[in-house]
Structures are given as C-alpha cells and as structure tokens.
Chains A and B, each alone.
Chain A
C-alpha cells in the first residue's frame, strides 16, 4: 500500500448558535481546507461526511453538503461514530486512498448542535447509551464519565484538584485560540469557591468546570495519495498509523471503569502501524470532553503509567513547554465539542503543529504527533499518528 497524506486542513470558528444552515457551515471548513491544499472541488474524488445524526434534521446530510460544496457527481459517504465520527472518517479515507480506490478524499466533520431545540436535545440526551437497559435509569454522558472519575480517584488517588488542573491548562490555551467557543480564564480558586458556577455539581464528582460545552462547528481534511501529495504540496503531513476499536455500550460489559479499553487498543494498533511508541510523540491532541477523559487518555496512550496521569499534570508536563504537550489549542474543554467536527479539528491542530504553522501555540520542532478521539463513553476508540516523514 502507498503512503497517504493530509495536504489541506480547515475548520470554522466553534460557536454557540451558528446563524446559518448545515450546508453553509460545511462550506466554511471546506473552503479553508481546499484553499490550504491549493486545489479545487474538481480535484476531489470522493467526500465523507461525518456527524452524529441525532442532531441533523436533514436526512442523509452527505448529499446536500456534497451538492453545496460542488462535489457532484463524485461519490459521497456518511460516517457516524458519535464524537469520533471524523477520526473514523479519516480512517476510511486512509483505506480508500491506500487501496487506490480514490486518490483525493475530503473528510468533512460537521455538527450544528443548535439545529434542534434545547428541549429536543434534552430528550435525546437520555438516549446516548444502551436505550434498552441503561437509559430507563436516567443516564447522561457526564454521569458515565463521572463513574470513571470516581473509579479512577478511588484506585489511583487522583484528586478533584488534578481534574481542575486539566481545565486550568485548557483555558490557558483557549484564551488565545480565536476559533474556541470558551475563551475565559479558569483558575483553581473558581473550583474551590462554592459560589462560583465552575464548582456547581453536575454528576458527582464532576462539576460544571469539568465539562466541555456544546458548540456548532465544522472541520475538513484533504486526504491524498503519495503521488498527489508530492505533486501538489510542499509540506504534506503523512498518516503513519490509524487505530480503531469498539467496546460494549452497556457499562455492564466493561472490564474496567478506571480506563477506556477501546482507547488503549486503538493506541496499540496505531503505535504498531507507525512503528513508534509513546516516547516518540512530540505533540498530542486528546479527547477531553470532560477533565477526567484527559487523565484517562494520558494512561491509555502510555504518556503515563496506569495511575500516573496525575503526576504529568501536577508537573505541567503536558503544557506547551513540557515533555509531552497535550491539547495546547485549548482542547474540547475550551474549543467546544461539535460532535462530528471534533476529530477533524484535533487533526487540524496537529497538522499545523507539524508544519510549524501553529502560531502562538507552536511546540518546538515537532516531527510526530498523535490524535486520540473517543466516541461515546469509550464505545469507540480512535488513535491517529501523523508525521513529517
């Protein structure tokens, strides 16, 4: 199989209520990505739309998006794996290009979470799990991650201050990311102040400050063959490893709650495929939908031993100047989390880092980067490794 590269990246601002339709939203990221790649829609052989359908009013949204972006008559596909949809879309694009079926594929991540009313959204929230056996108990995403936080704190001594420290780091970088929805500073004092909204309990032990915000947004990645990459692009970023795994939806089918096995399995696959290990990663984006999720990610990816994640954040090792910078674009906690667009946005951040085009958040001379993107509460694990060579 030939090598596969990413030659264009784009994303919209992530915002609270996007004042346009989903096709118009998709245009924003797509325009930036093909402009970045120096190509036109005619150069794209196929498109993959990645979103979580419970928010789409449009049935079969890939079709209207492809039409609006000038991507007819090329084939278009629709991929869904909840919050990791666009990482899954990237893996499928990789497979299509590596196999020679297509030479240039646009991976479009999209979510307009405000497409439905907040009452409709509330109603859907209860169905984000095993609807037959879990949802009748009144489950919600924060509660599942909270159970993981409780288990991790109990087993390894991770503290509420460690969780808050993850949010403080995210806000450090969110403040300087003009694409982020949340741009205010957050301090440990806010979590300690019972009158501050950040300390309000959501689902024990998680507080408002431990949770990311909903947002509307889009991302786009242009994925091409080695031959196209070399003829079109001065600085292609190569896809070195794509790992993906799934796990039981119902927590009753999980063998641990102090970690996400699907993430660990995806990481092992991606490292093996890329021929690298955790020590080789220069910069990473991980799925911090909740603060505890970033803690779990450090351990799943081997940046820390099991239980060692708290030491990484206490030592500020995951800050921009640290030994393994993580989410120095503000992460989901600051950028916001437009479900289907999130993975593509993470990949975009790593591509810009590897090209040396990350501006204020540029890590020093990175050669290999990693993206960890989770769908549901560890139902889908996706890990992608990218490099300059």
Chain B
C-alpha cells in the first residue's frame, strides 16, 4: 500500500508561508497561471476573498474559481520599517487593503510606488508577483 502524498502546494504562497495544506490550494495553480482568483458559492452566489472551500452562509462546499479582475479602491496601507523573521530582506514594504465592492483583498503595494503618489480611494489592480526567493504572492498596482 502506498501512502498518498501530502499536497503542500500552499507552501509556495508569500515570502514565508505558514500553511502546508488547505482545500483551496488550487489558488496556487491559478497564481502560476498568472491569475488571482476568488471562490464563488454555486449554491447561494456568495463571493469570497480570501478564497474559502466552504460557505458558512448555506453550508455548501460547491465552489467555483473566478478571477479578481478590474480595479479595487485603496482602503488603507502602511509601510513597514521592521519585519518579522523571514521578511527582513523585503523591508521596506507596504501592506494594503483593496475594496472590490463584493469582496476585499489584503496584500502588498508594488514596491516601485512612490508613497507620495498613493492616495486612499485610488483605483488599483491586483497582479501576480514572483518574489526573489521564488515564492508567489500578489501585489497592487496603480490602475
């Protein structure tokens, strides 16, 4: 009998991933195909970012993947001068929240933005980003 190999695709998410296994690890395959995706409950229509495997509203687990597309509005951001262990090489970097109306996305601002040009409420897009250590995340760019 061969043991089924553990699916640890999610270890590839972010500078340092803290999650080995999840039932939404197809998210990583989509990132590899240059797409940031959310989940959509086929039973009740709810949209989830971050993606969920299960809907707490209707208890369905029948989800489909849809692309985070168009622009979101910048809700807020902050540039860090200190970082947790494992993130030191990234300093300084800015975390941020984008509002897409039906859902919001938490991530990072693209590193080449001058913060003087960043304004709360400005439209931004979410794009896949390969980190210098080969890991994948997503970042927000000026629309």
Interface residues of A (CB under 8 A from B): 119, 122-123, 125-127, 130-140, 142-144, 146-151, 154, 200-206, 250-254, 257
Contacts and interface: CB of A to CB of B under 8 A. Distances in A.
A144 B80 CA distance: 10
Contacts of B17: 136
Nearest to A148: B76
A257 B18 CA distance: 25
Contacts of A135: 14, 16, 18, 84
Contacts, number: 122
A148 B76 CA distance: 7
Contact of B75 (A119, A123, A151): A151
27 contacts: A126-B16, A130-B50, A130-B106, A132-B18, A133-B106, A135-B18, A136-B15, A137-B14, A137-B15, A137-B107, A138-B108, A140-B83, A142-B82, A143-B95, A147-B78, A147-B97, A150-B76, A151-B75, A154-B121, A202-B81, A202-B82, A203-B80, A205-B78, A206-B78, A252-B49, A252-B104, A253-B104
B76 A136 contact: no
Contact of A134 (B86, B103, B106): B106
B108 A137 contact: yes
- Give the 9 A-B CB pairs with smallest separation, nearest first: A136-B14, A126-B84, A138-B87, A146-B78, A133-B50, A151-B76, A131-B18, A252-B104, A147-B76
Given A147-B76, A250-B50, A252-B97, A140 B84 contact: yes
A137 B84 contact: no
Given A135-B18, A137-B15, A122 B84 contact: yes
B85 A123 contact: yes
A203 B79 contact: yes
Contacts of A149: 78
Given A127-B18, A150-B120, A257 B75 contact: yes
Given A119-B85, A126-B86, A133-B50, A143 B97 contact: no
B137 interface: yes
Given A149-B78, A203-B79, 18 more contacts: A126-B87, A130-B50, A130-B106, A132-B19, A133-B50, A136-B16, A136-B137, A137-B106, A138-B16, A138-B86, A142-B82, A143-B78, A146-B78, A147-B95, A151-B120, A201-B79, A252-B49, A252-B97
B84 A250 contact: no
Interface string B1-20: 00000000010011111110
A112 B67 CA distance: 45
A252 B105 contact: yes
B83 A138 contact: yes
A257 B76 contact: yes
A177 B90 CA distance: 40
B65 interface: no
Contacts of A133: 50, 106
Contact of A250 (B18, B81, B106): B106
Contacts of B137: 136-137
Interface string B113-131: 0010000110000000000
Contacts of B93: 138
Contacts of A151: 75-76, 120
A136 B82 CA distance: 15
